[in-house]
Structure 1
């Protein structure tokens, strides 16, 4: 069999994965792919199942697998279930199999999600032309407010991967952080992604809406978020951005509260839900202290 057979199909699967069309990735028939490409596709299918909440099934399927790539997937699955074993396994694999491309990206993801950014950067820095590693490094640098390093990473990758979807996405993330005329650049990238057949997902529409908000095109952002929720009513990021947009548009408290409740119904552990709950608790604590002082006076 031609070792390169199925290159176009693999590109389609990869595009679906990076645009969060996980169901399409899982449902894809990989039998016509060459063994190397089939292996890559199967790793993407495992990661997609984890993203879809099927981590236990993935762990069951890979229970007897001992290769580094499969163990990296197991680490990701364990972390998604809240098991400390995931981070511990990722640390081990980073030490023993850090040259493996799957280990770099998947364990780098696990370590970054656990807040171990320096270890993740060290591992991802070993990559040899891995576009997903570049994108993840860019994301980590932006989390660390190191826009300079993120810019350096993207500019270097553009020299050899100018038209890559991942590099375009990384450039769009960077544009939203840099601001100014870069907001418009980011919008164009997301608009093209959202309008391209096969890549129109709730995630791509949410990204376009965020760019619209930065450009103060609030009605357009509202319409785009509604489109995203029509595609996926349970998309937490779409609902979270609805809350932000409602505040920007000066909507009344009952409407905002209703949107927060809708987000909580979909994902009660979302950072926005947790953050609002924490701020309300702090406010109530401070208010109680002042109330006690007033009563004493």
Structure 2
């Protein structure tokens, strides 16, 4: 078996996963891969199935698996079945026992961040040894913290050793959307090129294009991209969240869009932020409510 050919096969699976081409990842023939690469490919396949909503099926298939990588994937599937506390406990135990495992670091970082344990997530991810996905998740966390300076620092450092990486290029595009200015157009080009590189654009790519279009003020184009994403997956959370933004920018009533987003993900930061602001508004308004004499 040609090791370079096998390595190329794993790279194809890796790239397809990060392009959001989950069906292609699942269908990919991995019979020529080495044992270690078989495990890596298996992780991508299971994660793709989780992304497509096959939580219970993945849990059933991973019952009894002892490899840290597959235990981490099992925790991710469990997290998506609303067994949140159990999943967090599982991943914290794995982080203690196998914190040096790249898959444990990545999936653990994802679960811990989504569970609101940002410091734990960053501590685990920071142990990585050249993991591009770990870097990309750290960047996402920094953006969520509004620490653009630290996100830029991560991108700059990663580009010194991973200049042509698809993962880092995508992460840099998201950072560019926060930097603004001419970076909006540069970010758009990344998603456009990504869409042209694959036969069928994924929801992830389409949402990236739509967000770029929104920042560039090209609302009709953003609407087309978002609708294409929702045609592919009507439950896609990023597409639904950005549809709320688009509706607001075009002067429409966002109530229906918000209702759909909340039904799909009641704990989405957008939903929680709006609920918090509504509560603050009601408290402020109550101070000025007319007092009726008894």
> What TM-score comes out, normalization by structure 2 length?
0.88
Displacement of 1:285 in angstroms is 7.0
Displacement of 1:169 in angstroms is 0.8
Unmatched tracts of structure 2, length 5 or more = none
Name the structure 2 match of 1:35: 35
The whole-number CA distance in structure 2 between the counterparts of 1:116 and 1:268 is 18
Is the aligned partner of 1:258 residue 2:256? yes
| 1:3–1:35 CA contact under 8 A, matched in 2 | no
Q: How do 1:137-156 and structure 2 match up within 5 A?
A: 137-156=138-157
Is the aligned partner of 1:59 residue 2:63? no
| 1:212–1:218 CA contact under 8 A, matched in 2 | yes
Name the structure 2 match of 1:163: 164
Name the structure 1 match of 2:87: 86
Is the aligned partner of 1:22 residue 2:14? no
Moved more, 215-224 or 276-285: 276-285
Aligned residues: 293
The whole-number CA distance in structure 1 between the counterparts of 2:72 and 2:170 is 24
| 1:193–1:199 CA contact under 8 A, matched in 2 | no
The whole-number CA distance in structure 1 between the counterparts of 2:288 and 2:184 is 44
Displacement of 1:105 in angstroms is 1.0
Is the aligned partner of 1:272 residue 2:270? yes
Unmatched tracts of structure 1, length 5 or more = none
Name the structure 1 match of 2:130: 129
Moved more, 144-153 or 130-139: 144-153
| 1:16–1:199 CA contact under 8 A, matched in 2 | no
Name the structure 1 match of 2:100: 99
The whole-number CA distance in structure 2 between the counterparts of 1:52 and 1:157 is 29
Name the structure 2 match of 1:73: 73
Say which SS state the counterpart of residue 235 (structure 2) adopts.
Answer: coil
Say which SS state the counterpart of residue 152 (structure 1) adopts.
Answer: helix
Say which SS state the counterpart of residue 123 (structure 2) adopts.
Answer: helix
